[in-house]
Amino acid sequence: MRLNDITRGTGLEAHGITNANLIYWTPPTSVLYEQIVKRGEGLLSHLGAVAVKTGHYTGRAANEKFIVDEPTSHGNIAWGKVNRPFPSLKFDELFKRMCAYMQGRDLFVQDCFAGADREHRLPIRVVTEKAWHSLFARNMFINATEEELEHHTPQFTVVNMPNFHALPTLDGTNSETFIIINFARRMIIIGGTSYAGEIKKGIFTILNYLLPVEKKIMAMHCSANVGPQGDTAIFFGLSGTGKTTLSADPNRSLIGDDEHGWDDKGVFNFEGGCYAKIINLSREAEPEIYETTRRFGTVLENVAIDTFTRRVDLADDSFTENTRASYPLTHIPNIVGSGCGGHPANIVMLTCDAFGVLPPIARLTPEQAMFHFLSGYTAKVAGTEAGITEPTATFSTCFGGPFMPLNPAVYGELLRDKIARHNVTCWLVNTGWSGGSYGVGSRMKIGYSRSLVNAALNGSLNAGVFEKDAFFGLDIPTDCAGVPAEVLNPRHTWADKNKYDETATRLVGMFRENFKKYEQDVPAEVANVM
C-alpha cells in the first residue's frame, strides 16, 4: 500500500476494530496538515507550525495509568503506586466499548518503529481519531519506508481515542480518563485525554519492559549526543530538567532527546523526533530548538497563538507552563542520522533542585552514580503533570519512575555493569535553584549549565581541582571557565548560611529516607554514600 492511500478497514480487524469509515493509512505530513485544518483541530501558524490545544489535561494523567495484571507479565512487574494492576476482564470490556465507539468514524493509522537499532527496533501501530495525534506519532517515532510498509506487522498497538471516556463505576478506572497497558494483548488503550505525551510515554514503558526482560538491554530516560571526537554522552533527567536543552548543542551531534537503549554496541535512540518543553524559549539561549517552532511539520502543543496574525507567543503560559513542540529530528541541523552512537564516555544526571542546595555540577564516584540513579531526585516542574502548579520535590526511580515497570534493581544492575565495563565518568548537574530555595533564589542560568556540561564532556573539568561537599559528600570543582567561582559551591550563594545548612541537612534526610526501599538490593557502599 502506498503512503498516500486512503482505504477502509484494512488490517485493523486484527485488533478488533471494524466498520470504521475512512481510514487514513500512514498519511504523510501534508495530508495530516490538511485534515487538521479541515477538522478544526488546530491553527496554522504564520511560519508553518501547527498549533493545537489538549483541553483539560496539559500534562500526563499519572493517576489514570494502569497495567493489566495477567499471567505472562505478572511476575516481572514491580506492582505498587506507579504500576497499578488492572483486571484483564475489565480491559476486554472497556476495549470492546472503544471498538464500538470507533465504528463509523474516520481513523488515522501510523505504522512505524520504536528503536533506531534495526536489530532491536519494535514495529508499532498508532491508531487515533485526531489527525494531529497521528502527526505527533509520525514526528516522534521512526518512519517506515514504503517497502517496509508492505510487510509491516505491528508487535504493539496504541489506540488513542481522547473523546471516548470510561465509566469509573463500570470500568474500575479512577476517572473518565485512562491509559492502560496490556502486555498479553500487546496493546495500549488511551481515552479521555488529548495530551499527546501519553502516546510516546506509553511506548517508552513498553520498551522499558521488553528490552531488559527479553534482551538484557538497558532502557533509559535520557538524551544523548556525540562530540567532535566521537565521544558519546548521555543525560538522565525528568521533564523540565534540561535534557532536551543541554543535549541540543551546536558543537555536538544529537542522537536523541529523551529515550534510549544501551546494548553491547553502544547507545541507540528509541524515537525519530523530539518533544521539547518550550515555555520562554528564546532564539539566543536555545537557537536550534527555537527554529523548530517556526517550521512546517512541528506540532505546537498548548502554545498561545494570535488567531488573526497567527503569530505564537512562546512566553505565554496562560494554557500551561508545560507548552511543547513535537518535531522530527531532521528539524535539528546537527544530528546523528543513524540514531546510534558508541558507548558513553560521560553520563550526566540532571536534577532540578527546588531547595537550591545541590551544586550546579559535581563529579560522582561509581557508588554515588548508582545512588543518585536509583534516587532520581528532582522537582516536578509546574504543568508537567496534572495538578502540579509549582515545583515540588520528588524522587523518581531511575529518573523515570512512572515509565519503569520492572524492579528498579534490574535497571540499576544493568547501569552499574555498563559504567564499570566502559569506564564511564559520571556527573550530577543541578539546573534548579541557586542562592535560596524556590521563591527566594533564582533558577540556574542556562549559560552556566552549558559551560559546566561542556567542560565536563571535553575533559577539562575532570582535570581540575575539586573540594568535598560537607553534606552530600560530592566532589565540587573550584573553577570553570564561564562560571563565577562563587556559583560552584551553593553554600556561597546563600545570604543566610545557617539556613543553607538547615535546608541541606533536611534534604540529606529525605534522600536517606527514600533510599531505604533500595538498601536490600544494593551493596552497602552504595546505600551509605550519604
Catalytic residue of the set 130, 201, 277, 416: 201
Rounded Cα–Cα distance for residues 171 and 192 (Å)? 13
Q: Which amino acid is residue 346, in one-letter code? A: N
User: β-strands 324-328, 299-301: how paired?
Assistant: antiparallel
Catalytic residue of the set 26, 45, 54, 60: 60
Q: Which amino acid is residue 23, in one-letter code? A: I
* Measured CA distances, 317 to 44, 281, 329, 421 (Å): 19, 12, 25, 45
Active site residue 60: yes
Query: What SS3 state is found at 203?
Result: helix
Catalytic residue of the set 125, 138, 221, 331: 221
Active site residue 258: yes
Catalytic residue of the set 120, 138, 324, 380: 324
SS (H, E, C) 400-463: CHHHCCCCHHHHHHHHHHHHHHHCCEEEEEECCEECCCCCCCEECCHHHHHHHHHHHHHCCCCC
Catalytic residue of the set 249, 258, 353, 475: 258
Query: What SS3 state is found at 57?
Result: coil
By the 10 Å C-beta count (0-12 exposed, 13-18 middle, 19+ buried), 311 is classed as: exposed
| Torsion, CA 294, CA 297, CA 299, CA 305, rounded to 10 | 40
Catalytic residue of the set 138, 152, 185, 243: 243
Please name which of 4, 17, 198, 209 lies closest in space to residue 97, comparing C-alpha atoms. 17
Active site residue 241: no
Rounded Cα–Cα distance for residues 26 and 36 (Å)? 15
Active site residue 73: no
**Alpha helices of 109-158 — where are they, by DSSP H?**
131-140, 146-150
Q: Grid cell 552512537 — which residue?
A: 341
Query: What SS3 state is found at 368?
Result: helix
- Residue 182 has phi, psi (to 5 degrees) of -125, 105
Contact, 323 vs 411, CB < 8 A?
no
Q: Extract the runs of DSSP E, i.e. beta strands, from 129-210.
A: 142-143, 156-161, 178-182, 187-191
Q: How many CB atoms neighbour CB 71 within 10 A?
A: 8
Catalytic residue of the set 26, 157, 205, 239: 239
Please name which of 528, 354, 360 lies closest in space to residue 449, comparing C-alpha atoms. 360
Q: Extract the runs of DSSP E, i.e. beta strands, from 70-163.
A: 85-87, 107-114, 122-128, 142-143, 156-161
Catalytic residue of the set 244, 293, 298, 451: 244
Rounded Cα–Cα distance for residues 376 and 67 (Å)? 22
Active site residue 239: yes
Rounded Cα–Cα distance for residues 494 and 497 (Å)? 6
Active site residue 200: no
Active site residues: 60, 201, 221, 239, 243-244, 258, 324
